[in-house]
């Protein structure tokens, strides 16, 4: 039960940082990092998929509320929450290692693969829904690439800080 309190506290902290700090970082209109994906990645492995999707919907809905967007964060987060258990089953052969949270220590190099797949999926859905057209597909793909790299680097920084504390 104490782990859930830590997780809720961490979620609130990351959402606060996302809304107050990271949402105001825009590099040439291309870089929009979304660090809240890290919170979805840290969910325990053994919780049911419906609960993961509900948590993803709640986190995405809160972001939509603060960003004044009509459900694009929620849609992206629910998709990521749905795909996460499937990807974990495909990437991790040794189920014994997956008892707790998804961390670099538990997954090794598969952590990076999982993170990249989830970031690309999230950003693709998010930016395509935001643009809602293929007229500027090149610009949208560039946004996905640059924002994905920034998100990856920030998530790795947070993971490093979490691991060192």
pLDDT at 2: 64
pLDDT at 50: 94
pLDDT lower than 70: segments of the chain = 1-2, 93-101
Count of other CB atoms within 10 angstroms of residue 164 = 6
pLDDT at 165: 75
pLDDT at 92: 75
Calculate Rg over the CA atoms of the chain.
Answer: 15
pLDDT at 73: 95
CB-based contacts of 51: which residues, under 8 Å, 6+ apart? none
Cα–Cα distances in angstroms (integers) from residue 3 to residues 40, 44, 76, 102, 135, in the given order: 15, 10, 26, 14, 46
| pLDDT tens per residue across span 72-93 | 999 999 999 999 988 988 887 6
Q: What does the angle CA 22 – CA 144 – CA 44 come to, to the nearest 5 degrees? A: 65
pLDDT at 98: 61
> What is the chain's length?
165
Q: Where are the domains of the chain?
A: 2-164
pLDDT at 62: 93
| pLDDT tens per residue across span 113-137 | 999 999 999 999 999 999 988 888 9
* CA-wise closest residue to 119 among 7, 61, 38, 53: 38
pLDDT at 5: 85
* CA-wise closest residue to 37 among 95, 119, 134: 119
């Amino acid at each position: 039960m104490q782990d859930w309190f830590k997780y809720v506290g961490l979620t609130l902290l990351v959402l606060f940082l996302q809304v107050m700090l990271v949402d105001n970082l825009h590099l040439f209109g291309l870089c929009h990092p979304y660090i809240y994906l890290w919170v979805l990645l840290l969910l325990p492995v053994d919780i049911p998929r419906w609960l993961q999707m509900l948590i993803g919907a709640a986190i995405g809905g809160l972001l939509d509320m603060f960003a004044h967007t009509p459900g694009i964060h929620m849609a992206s987060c629910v998709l990521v929450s749905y795909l996460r258990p499937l990807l974990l089953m495909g990437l991790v052969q040794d189920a014994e290692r997956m008892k707790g949270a998804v961390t670099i220590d538990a997954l090794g190099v598969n952590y990076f693969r999982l993170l990249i797949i989830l970031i690309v999926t999230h950003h693709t859905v998010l930016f395509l829904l935001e643009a809602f057209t293929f007229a500027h597909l090149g610009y949208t793909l560039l946004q996905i690439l640059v924002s994905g790299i920034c998100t990856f680097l920030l998530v790795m920084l947070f993971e490093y800080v979490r691991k060192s504390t």
